[in-house]
């Protein structure tokens, strides 16, 4: 239905982040060092404003309940932008961004940022932006976590998930990794997801999905026979969807999307693709799941894993997907563009962790 920008820009970098949508339906894209705001008219975009930072924006924009947009730029600052496109406060110096980590916003509109050299920073907006190191640690949280009931959960490069309560004067991890709480078999980069229970769903580089209770106890794990370079999403019935990259010594790697049953935690179905799936899928309100592959095909499947349609776009798809009002599914491409395709779904699946960061505003917290 449309691409943005309309043509490929010289020197454009691969588009790996995901646009955010606020409660009024306004959509925010991060491209290079700019944030673009568009009003959505039944799936077609109308430009509202552009905000420029001093460096490339790696992660996705997030929108707090205050309506302000947050982006972490390679200029080393967290930028907070109002609905009018004007800067809110002074950009907070939080250091270089991590490639896999996107800022999260809690219900009090405090922003939390995983540090490039380890630890967790806190940014509050009270007349101006100032950052402080809330949790000190050498482990890098190169992962997009989530916030639930005032606790920040995030994966680390030491194969463990950390649980850090946010209500104290100084953060501390409350899971005992030596007692196997929150421990996986290898490092964690993929964004976390949340199922009922509540249960944290964690994709580890040991090719296993894990489900952890909020006390760190492992509820289940399942081998998926492929590397998970995207992130899992969760349906209303606790089914987990995740893309795979499969290299079995062939000339060309292939891929798959798998659905893990929400009760048995076994693979319910597996949809094969001709190239790896590094894209994070998105689940529509009608049960259709959408995802891209590295050859540039976007696939739509029904709840039984049967193909509804597939469409080839201009370049490979490694980004997360989202759904806009008016029946548009949007993905970022390796050529730096975003592309929108007409789809059956009109909104995200309610009562689910239906996309990257859980909701359209991308706060990383349940709605």
CB 32 within 8 A of CB 13: yes
Output the pLDDT for position 173: 96
Q: Please give the angle made by the CA atoms of 274, 279 and 281, to the nearest 5 degrees.
A: 105
Region 2-13 average pLDDT: 89
Q: How many angstroms separate the Cα of 117 from the Cα of each of 135, 225, 313?
A: 12, 32, 37
Output the pLDDT for position 137: 86
Output the pLDDT for position 367: 63
CA 225 from chain centre, in angstroms, equals 22
CB 330 within 8 A of CB 322: yes
Which H helix or E strand runs over 203? Answer: strand 199-204
| 16-38 pLDDT tens trace | 999 999 999 999 999 999 999 99
CB 19 within 8 A of CB 55: no
Nearest to 141 by CA among 170, 105, 116: 116
Parallel, antiparallel or unpaired: strands 338-342 and 2-4:
antiparallel
Q: Indicate if the pLDDT at residue 283 is higher than 90.
A: yes
Exposure of 169 by Cβ count < 10 A (0-12 exposed, 13-18 middle, 19+ buried)? exposed
Tokens 């449309």, residue located: 2
Q: Indicate if the pLDDT at residue 301 is higher than 90.
A: yes
Q: Please give the angle made by the CA atoms of 208, 211 and 212, to the nearest 5 degrees.
A: 125
Region 247-274 average pLDDT: 93
Q: Indicate if the pLDDT at residue 192 is higher than 80.
A: yes
Question: Among the listed ranges 40-49, 202-211, 255-264, which one has the minimum average pLDDT value?
Answer: 40-49
Average pLDDT of every residue of the chain: 94
Output the pLDDT for position 128: 63
| 59-103 pLDDT tens trace | 999 999 999 999 999 999 999 999 999 999 899 999 999 999 999
Nearest to 224 by CA among 191, 269, 187: 269
Map residue 177 onto helix, strand or coil: helix
Residue spans of the domains in the chain: they are 14-342
Q: Indicate if the pLDDT at residue 298 is higher than 80.
A: yes
Q: Indicate if the pLDDT at residue 331 is higher than 70.
A: yes
CA atoms within 13 A of residue 185's CA, in its CB half-sphere: 10
Output the pLDDT for position 366: 75
| 120-162 pLDDT tens trace | 999 987 656 678 899 998 889 999 999 999 999 999 999 999 9
CATH fourth-level superfamily of 14-342: YVTN repeat-like/Quinoprotein amine dehydrogenase (2.130.10.10)
Distance in angstroms (rounded) separating the CA atoms of residues 106 and 144: 14
Q: Indicate if the pLDDT at residue 10 is higher than 90.
A: no
């Amino acid at each position: 239905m449309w691409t943005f920008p309309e043509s490929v820009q010289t020197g454009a970098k691969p588009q790996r982040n995901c646009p955010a949508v606020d409660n009024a339906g306004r959509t925010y894209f991060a491209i290079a060092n700019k944030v673009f705001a568009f009003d959505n008219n039944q799936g077609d975009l109308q430009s509202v404003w552009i905000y420029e930072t001093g460096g490339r924006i790696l992660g996705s924009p997030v929108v707090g309940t205050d309506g302000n947009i947050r982006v972490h730029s390679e200029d080393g600052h967290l930028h907070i932008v109002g609905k009018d496109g004007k800067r809110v406060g002074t950009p907070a110096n939080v250091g270089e961004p991590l490639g896999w980590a996107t800022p999260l916003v809690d219900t009090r509109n405090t922003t939390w940022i995983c540090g490039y050299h380890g630890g967790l920073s806190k940014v509050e907006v009270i007349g101006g932006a100032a950052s402080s190191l809330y949790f000190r640690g050498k482990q890098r949280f190169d992962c997009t976590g989530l916030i639930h009931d005032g606790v920040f959960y995030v994966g680390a490069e030491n194969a463990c998930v950390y649980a850090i309560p946010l209500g104290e004067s100084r953060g501390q991890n409350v899971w005992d990794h030596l007692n196997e709480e929150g421990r996986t078999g290898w490092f964690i980069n993929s964004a976390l997801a949340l199922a009922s229970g509540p249960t944290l769903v964690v994709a580890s580089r040991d090719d296993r999905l894990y489900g952890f209770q909020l006390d760190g106890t492992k509820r289940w794990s399942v081998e998926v026979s492929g590397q998970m370079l995207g992130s899992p999403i969760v349906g209303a019935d606790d089914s987990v969807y995740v893309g795979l990259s499969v290299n079995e010594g062939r000339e060309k790697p292939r891929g798959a999307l798998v659905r893990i049953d929400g009760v048995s935690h076994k693979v319910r179905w597996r949809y094969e693709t001709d190239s790896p799936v590094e894209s994070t899928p998105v689940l529509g309100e009608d049960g259709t799941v959408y995802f891209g592959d590295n050859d540039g095909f976007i696939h739509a499947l029904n709840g039984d894993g049967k193909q509804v349609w597939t469409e080839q776009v201009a370049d490979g798809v490694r980004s997360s997907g989202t759904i806009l009002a008016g029946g548009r599914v949007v993905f970022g491409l390796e050529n730096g563009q975003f592309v929108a395709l007409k789809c059956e779904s009109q909104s995200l699946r309610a009562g689910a962790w239906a996309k990257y960061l859980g909701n359209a505003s991308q706060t990383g917290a349940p709605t």
